[in-house]
């Protein structure tokens, strides 16, 4: 029988140790892989966010494009073309000629239908005019003193679930003809404007005087029919040789172009017509060739023979609102025709060599410059949705599909001052929406970036001294027992939802600050004085008195002092306000100092957001100071340095990388804060460093406007650009913080 020999005990121990070492190595490797994978995934997530933002933003800077869509031959017309256009989806195009004929073109079927408007027999057409493109109205002045007023209209029906567009000619007044002047008085050089309540005509009569006919409509409550009352007036001081005439759609002004001057008349009140301004349009070695209203009718586009288009609009002056030269577009060639969009401030020009250019006035962008087979264009127009261009040449009607989604956005419009219509000067403006179709979005990111930095600055001015001073005292001077309570308490503050802070700041703190401004000023003065005085008095107090409060709890002595001084400051606020500010500090700020005062201002934001930032700065800075090796401070003290010298020359220098990181982390938190600035400011996108004015930040703007923005619109994509700018802000701040931290660590690592 064999005898079984057991392994020696030391050998078993070595085997167990080897197995444990292998398991530990596997765990270490898995942990290393897990941490590395987590870091890589964080980096990938950041890259995905970065590239997704760029993906959404990129289209707003894309150039426009034009693609031929249809070319339909029309019966040749010897008459000039008054206007061209199409329905919304450009299934039907039309042409109105100055002989009162309308041609409708079915693009899909390439069929042309001709319609002659009802001009009385024996009467000739002596003038013609068209309205703003969005109205698609036209008028013909007749030799017998009548006007034929009509508009092109498209009705949509769905027989057998098929969409059918039917073109029509409608007459806004019910009847096609309207008597404007006496019989046998031709209406020469007609211009008009129309809405449902008012109709205005200007024309040159047989005696070579310019006349205004105003018709005001009032709905009959019984019959629900509009009853028109007319009045006439003569335009004073009119020029000779008028080459073009316009009436603004609001029917408040009439403009007559004579050579290189525009005469602007106030026709708001037909009984008090007056000459407002004579606008000099003269350019050296160039003549005015065209004179059109831009979409919204606030601007006039003037084209010149040297290939320049200039924009004029009214600006406030000492003598009232007057037209003024604003900007120009050059190198457009010899322009055959010019067309503006229905609602946006884009316009197109076609040169005699067929070069088509798309431009946007406010952003001053040239969106497209392309040579097309468009020689001798007689009429040019945009479709209602601005996604197509209709051009009439001598023998055909051409349709071009247009891709021009975001013309109003450019780097200059986003970051530089822009002169918007109606504004007295170029300004930074964010105003993305309005209730009017004629509204032009103003999408400057500069006031939002400014507001972000302003809010962060005032928050850091409030939070940084308090947080760093608290961190230094807690880590270096405070007893361990009190520190074990204070540090977790402040760190728990970081978990407080910022929406609560914003709610309190907007509904409680803002009214409190407004009604106790002198008390707040008094608090800033008395609180430091009281704390220093109590500390000095305590240091000089006899030992018998100091025994009442052990050194471990001496910090608690300041709590009642701070509370009493705060109560005293706010209690004395009415007396100080009466003594220094004549009983109304807000009125003193507004009238005497000349500063605007908003209840929800930068002061409120600084205090509220400061409380949100303090825990972040305090926690990181306190850890950095407390982590300084004790042998450094002990060695300094042993060499005879005082505790204060040790703190300033050894501890703070060693902890400076961590302290700087704490400040930068707090700054990053302040820059990205949303709810507090959303609820505690007026959300006004203004650029003013005043502590009594509000602001609008990038984060708050995104939170407010993203839910109401149309997906894919310029507004939507600019909001993503704002998010990208905010992303870059935090990235730059964190990068700078890391670089400075590394330099500080290298410099003071030898201590």
CATH number for the domain harbouring residue 221:
2.130.10.10
Q: Strand runs (DSSP E) across 198-319, as ranges? A: 198-204, 210-219, 226-234, 242-247, 253-258, 261-266, 274-280, 288-293, 299-304, 309-317
Dihedral angle sign, alpha carbons of residues 308, 314, 318, 320? positive
Q: Do 217 and 124 share a structural domain?
A: yes
Three-state DSSP at 132 gives coil
Q: Do 486 and 377 share a structural domain?
A: no
Q: Do 398 and 506 share a structural domain?
A: no
What pLDDT is recorded for position 151?
92
Q: What domain range is 282 assigned to?
A: 65-415
What pLDDT is recorded for position 515?
87
Q: Do 394 and 467 share a structural domain?
A: no
Residues in Cβ contact with 413 at an 8 Å cutoff, skipping those fewer than 6 apart? 362, 363, 364, 443, 444
Dist. CA 123–CA 113, nearest whole Å: 24
Answer yes or no: is 716 within a domain.
yes
Answer yes or no: is 555 within a domain.
yes
Backbone torsions φ then ψ of 365, nearest 5 degrees: -100, 140
What pLDDT is recorded for position 3?
53
Dist. CA 459–CA 448, nearest whole Å: 16
User: Left if phi > 0, otherwise alpha if psi is -120 to 50, otherwise beta: which for 212?
Assistant: beta
Three-state DSSP at 300 gives strand
For residue 669, what is the enclosing H or E element? helix 652-672
Centroid of chain to Cα 502: 24
Q: Which of 683, 671, 655 lies closest to 723, judged by CA?
A: 671
Tally the domains of the chain: 2
Residues in Cβ contact with 34 at an 8 Å cutoff, skipping those fewer than 6 apart? none
The rounded average pLDDT for each run of 10 residues, N- to C-terminus, in the chain (751 residues) is 55 77 86 89 89 91 90 84 91 91 90 89 90 91 90 89 88 87 83 90 90 86 77 90 91 90 91 91 86 88 91 86 91 89 91 91 89 88 92 88 90 90 89 74 91 92 92 86 87 85 88 87 89 84 74 77 89 86 82 83 90 91 87 83 84 86 88 87 86 89 88 91 90 81 71 56
Map 66-113 to HEC letters. EEEEEEEECCCCCCCEEEEEECCCCCEEEEEECCCEEEEEECCCCEEE
Answer yes or no: is 724 within a domain.
yes
Centroid of chain to Cα 428: 9
Backbone torsions φ then ψ of 361, nearest 5 degrees: -70, -55
Q: Do 536 and 390 share a structural domain?
A: no
Answer yes or no: is 132 within a domain.
yes
Tokens of 638: 């042993």
The CA–CA distances, whole Å, from 395 to 115, 380, 391, 439 equal 18, 14, 11, 37
Answer yes or no: is 175 within a domain.
yes
Answer yes or no: is 79 within a domain.
yes
Last residue of a domain, one of 415, 446, 477: 415
Q: Do 513 and 384 share a structural domain?
A: no
DSSP per-residue letters across 164-224: EEEEEEE-TTSSSEEE-S-TT---EEEEEEE-SSEEEEEEE-TTS-EEEEEEEEEE-TTT-
What pLDDT is recorded for position 169?
92
CATH number at residue 722: 1.10.3720.10
User: Left if phi > 0, otherwise alpha if psi is -120 to 50, otherwise beta: which for 354?
Assistant: left
Centroid of chain to Cα 512: 32
Q: Do 462 and 370 share a structural domain?
A: no
Cβ neighbour number for residue 570 with a 10 Å cutoff: 17
Task: Find out whether 328 and 310 touch, Cβ atoms under 8 Å.
Answer: yes
Answer yes or no: is 438 within a domain.
no
Q: Which of 719, 90, 109 lies closest to 387, judged by CA?
A: 90
Three-state DSSP at 430 gives strand
Dist. CA 80–CA 97, nearest whole Å: 6
Crossing angle for the helix pair 652-672 and 446-472, to the nearest 10 degrees: 140
Dist. CA 695–CA 598, nearest whole Å: 10
Residue whose token pair is 């197509």: 388
Q: Do 612 and 553 share a structural domain?
A: yes
What pLDDT is recorded for position 435?
61
Residue whose token pair is 């247009």: 402
Last residue of a domain, one of 364, 395, 415: 415
Answer yes or no: is 122 within a domain.
yes
Dist. CA 354–CA 334, nearest whole Å: 10
Residue whose token pair is 């310029």: 714
What pLDDT is recorded for position 8?
59
Residue whose token pair is 């007057």: 322
Q: Do 393 and 493 share a structural domain?
A: no
Centroid of chain to Cα 99: 47
Q: Do 674 and 532 share a structural domain?
A: yes
What pLDDT is recorded for position 191?
93
Q: Do 468 and 341 share a structural domain?
A: no
Q: Do 396 and 264 share a structural domain?
A: yes
Last residue of a domain, one of 366, 392, 415: 415
Cβ neighbour number for residue 499 with a 10 Å cutoff: 13
- Strand 320-329 relative to strand 242-247, pairing: unpaired
Tokens of 456: 């962060």
Map 592-610 to HEC letters. HCCCCCCCCCHHHHHHHHH
What pLDDT is recorded for position 68?
92
């Amino acid at each position: 029988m064999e005898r079984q020999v057991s392994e020696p005990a030391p050998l078993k121990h070595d085997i167990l140790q080897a197995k444990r070492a292998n398991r530990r190595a596997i765990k270490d490797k898995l942990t290393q892989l897990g941490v590395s994978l987590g870091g890589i995934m964080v980096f990938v997530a950041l890259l995905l966010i970065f590239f997704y933002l760029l993906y959404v933003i990129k289209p707003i800077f894309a150039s426009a494009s034009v693609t031929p869509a249809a070319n339909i031959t029309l019966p040749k017309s010897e008459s000039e073309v008054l206007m061209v256009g199409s329905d919304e989806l450009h299934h039907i195009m039309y042409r109105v000629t100055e002989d009162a004929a309308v041609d409708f073109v079915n693009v899909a079927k390439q069929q042309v239908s001709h319609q002659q408007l009802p001009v009385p027999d024996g009467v000739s057409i002596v003038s013609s005019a068209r309205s703003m493109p969005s109205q698609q109205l036209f008028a013909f002045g007749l030799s017998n003193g009548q006007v034929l007023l009509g508009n092109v209209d498209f009705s949509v029906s769905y027989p057998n679930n098929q969409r059918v567009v039917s073109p029509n000619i409608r007459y806004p007044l019910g009847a096609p003809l309207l008597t404007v002047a006496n019989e046998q008085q031709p209406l020469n050089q007609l211009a008009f404007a129309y809405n449902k309540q008012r109709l205005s005509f200007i024309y040159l009569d047989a005696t070579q005087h310019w006349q205004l006919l105003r018709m005001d409509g009032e709905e009959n409550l019984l019959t629900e029919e509009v009853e028109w009352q007319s009045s006439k007036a003569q335009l004073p001081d009119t020029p000779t040789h008028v080459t073009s005439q316009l009436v603004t759609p609001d029917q408040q002004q009439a403009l007559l172009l004579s050579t290189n001057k525009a005469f602007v008349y106030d026709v708001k009140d037909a009984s008090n017509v007056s000459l407002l301004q004579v606008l000099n349009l003269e350019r050296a070695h160039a003549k005015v060739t065209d004179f059109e209203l831009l979409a919204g009718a606030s601007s006039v586009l003037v084209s010149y023979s040297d290939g320049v288009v200039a924009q004029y609009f009214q600006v406030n002056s000492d003598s009232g609102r007057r037209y003024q030269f604003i900007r120009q577009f050059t190198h457009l060639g010899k322009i055959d025709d010019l067309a503006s969009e229905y609602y946006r401030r884009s316009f197109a020009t076609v040169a005699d060599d067929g070069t088509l250019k798309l431009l946007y006035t406010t952003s001053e962008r040239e969106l497209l410059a392309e040579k097309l087979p468009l020689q001798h264009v007689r009429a040019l127009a945009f479709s209602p949705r601005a996604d197509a261009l209709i051009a009439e040449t001598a023998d055909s009607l051409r349709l071009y599909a247009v891709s021009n989604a975001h013309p109003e956005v450019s780097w200059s419009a986003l970051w530089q001052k822009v002169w918007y219509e109606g504004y007295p000067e170029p300004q930074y403006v964010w105003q993305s929406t309005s209730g009017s179709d004629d509204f032009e979005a103003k999408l400057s990111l500069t006031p939002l970036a400014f507001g972000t930095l302003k809010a962060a600055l005032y928050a850091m001015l409030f939070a940084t001294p308090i947080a760093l001073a608290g961190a230094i005292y807690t880590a270096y001077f405070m007893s361990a027992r009190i520190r074990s309570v204070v540090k977790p308490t402040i760190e728990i503050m970081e978990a407080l939802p910022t929406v609560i802070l914003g709610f309190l700041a907007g509904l409680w703190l803002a009214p409190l600050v407004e009604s106790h401004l002198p008390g707040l000023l008094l608090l800033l003065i008395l609180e430091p004085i009281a704390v220093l005085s109590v500390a000095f008095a305590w240091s000089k107090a006899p030992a018998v008195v100091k025994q009442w409060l052990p050194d471990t709890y001496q910090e608690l002595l300041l709590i009642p002092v701070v509370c009493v001084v705060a109560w005293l400051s706010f209690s004395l606020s009415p007396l100080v306000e009466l003594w220094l500010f004549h009983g109304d500090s807000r009125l003193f700020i507004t009238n005497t100092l000349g500063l605007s005062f908003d209840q929800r201002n930068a002061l409120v934001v600084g205090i509220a957001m400061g409380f949100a930032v303090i825990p972040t700065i305090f926690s990181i800075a306190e850890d950095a100071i407390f982590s300084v090796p004790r042998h450094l401070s002990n060695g300094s003290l042993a060499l005879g340095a005082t505790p204060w010298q040790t703190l300033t020359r050894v501890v703070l220098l060693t902890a400076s990388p961590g302290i700087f990181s704490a400040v930068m982390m707090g700054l990053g938190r302040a820059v990205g804060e949303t709810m507090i600035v959303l609820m505690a400011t007026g959300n006004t996108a203004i650029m003013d460093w005043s502590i009594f004015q509000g602001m609008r930040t990038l984060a708050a703007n995104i939170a407010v406007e993203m839910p109401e923005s149309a997906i894919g619109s310029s507004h939507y994509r600019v909001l993503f650009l704002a998010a990208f700018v905010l992303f870059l802000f935090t990235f730059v701040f964190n990068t700078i913080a890391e670089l400075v931290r590394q330099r500080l660590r290298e410099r003071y690592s030898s201590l």
